[in-house]
Amino acid sequence: MGRRPLVAGNWKMHTTIQEARKLAEAVVKAGADVIDRDIMIAPPFTALSAVFEIVRGSPSVRLAAQNICWAEKGAFTGEISPVMLKDAGCSMAIIGHSERRHVFGEDDAMINKRVLGAFEFELVPVFCIGETLDEREAGKTMEILENQMRSGLAGVTADQAQTVVVAYEPVWAIGTGKTATVEQAQEVHAFLRGLLVSMFEKNIATQIRILYGGSVNPENVDALMSQEDVDGALVGGASLKAESFDRIIHFQ
């Protein structure tokens, strides 16, 4: 069976509750005619409950958190637990986003704890990996990605792996307007698929969705989505504009 594409919007630290409601309404409207693909939106924590009230009736739109703690509750100031996120309506959580890794210093071990915590509470991790420009220029892209993948998914069972979403986001392409070429994206995605085959069984690895992220926009989405191993997009900037995200959702 083919992999069902996923178009995911990461709103980052944007939108008040009122703005989030408006944007979510537009996404639900845009997704109303969509039957062959999934849509995910990740508003800031403060807007999750309000957005859930808007997306809960939609057959295609799922709600995600932008990060997740591994513990159910306790002394973790500033963190949000999986139970709280489910309570707010989330079924998915972005983990290991490059801004968490590079701005807030989250390392592979912490990201792995978050991934395992999400699984424990039955939330779907959208697990992000990506190389920096220096690493790419030094010819280390695949080595870096392999390390991130193996450490981030350490301890994940084959059953759990079936549901994970992997997002390949080259750091140099996030928020910069520079997109990987379709060939660069497909080359990495094919490598990641092979890596997943070596980590899990082939019939599991071929079901795992691998999203591309990094300056995806209405102009480049069709070409990226035409690649065999590109199963969707994780979209930052362009997901904040209803019209652009509508066009990305309707990639051809």
Residues 6+ apart with CB under 8 A from 139: none
Give the residue with the Cβ less far from ligand PEP, 31 or 214: 214
C-beta separation of 26 from 251 below 8 A: no
Catalytic entry in 99, 131, 169, 189: 169
What does the DSSP 8-state code read for residue 47?
G
As given in the structure block, the two tokens for residue 121 are: 């509470």
Residues in region 4-23 near ligand PEP by CB under 6 A: 10, 12
Answer yes or no: 201 catalytic: no
Using the rule CB under 6 A, which residue among 60, 112, 160, 215 binds ligand PEP? 215
Give the count of alpha carbons within 13 A of 120, CB side only.
Answer: 15
The whole-angstrom separation of Cα 226 and Cα 153 is: 27
Q: How far is CA 110 from CA 67, 71, 227, 232, in A?
A: 12, 12, 32, 26
Using the rule CB under 6 A, which residue among 169, 188, 209, 210 binds ligand PEP? 169
Catalytic entry in 97, 99, 131, 189: 97
The whole-angstrom separation of Cα 197 and Cα 211 is: 17
The stretch among 19-27, 33-41, 189-197, 209-217 that binds ligand PEP (CB under 6 A) is 209-217
95 binds ligand PEP (CB under 6 A): no
What does the DSSP 8-state code read for residue 104?
S
C-beta separation of 152 from 145 below 8 A: no
Give the residue with the Cβ less far from ligand PEP, 144 or 240: 240
Give the residue with the Cβ less far from ligand PEP, 61 or 234: 234
216 binds ligand PEP (CB under 6 A): yes
Show the binding pattern over residues 222-251: x = contacts ligand PEP (CB under 6 A), - = does not: ------------xxxxx-------------
60 binds ligand PEP (CB under 6 A): no
Would you call 86 exposed, middle or buried from its count of C-beta atoms within 10 A (0-12, 13-18, 19+)?
middle
Give the residue with the Cβ less far from ligand PEP, 12 or 136: 12
The three-state secondary structure class of 234 is strand
174 binds ligand PEP (CB under 6 A): yes
Angle between helices 141-152 and 182-199 (to 10 degrees): 40
Residue nearest to ligand PEP (CB): 236
C-beta separation of 38 from 91 below 8 A: no
220 binds ligand PEP (CB under 6 A): no
Give the residue with the Cβ less far from ligand PEP, 200 or 247: 247
Binding site for ligand PEP (CB under 6 A): 10, 12, 169, 174-175, 213-216, 234-238
Write out the catalytic residue numbers.
97, 169
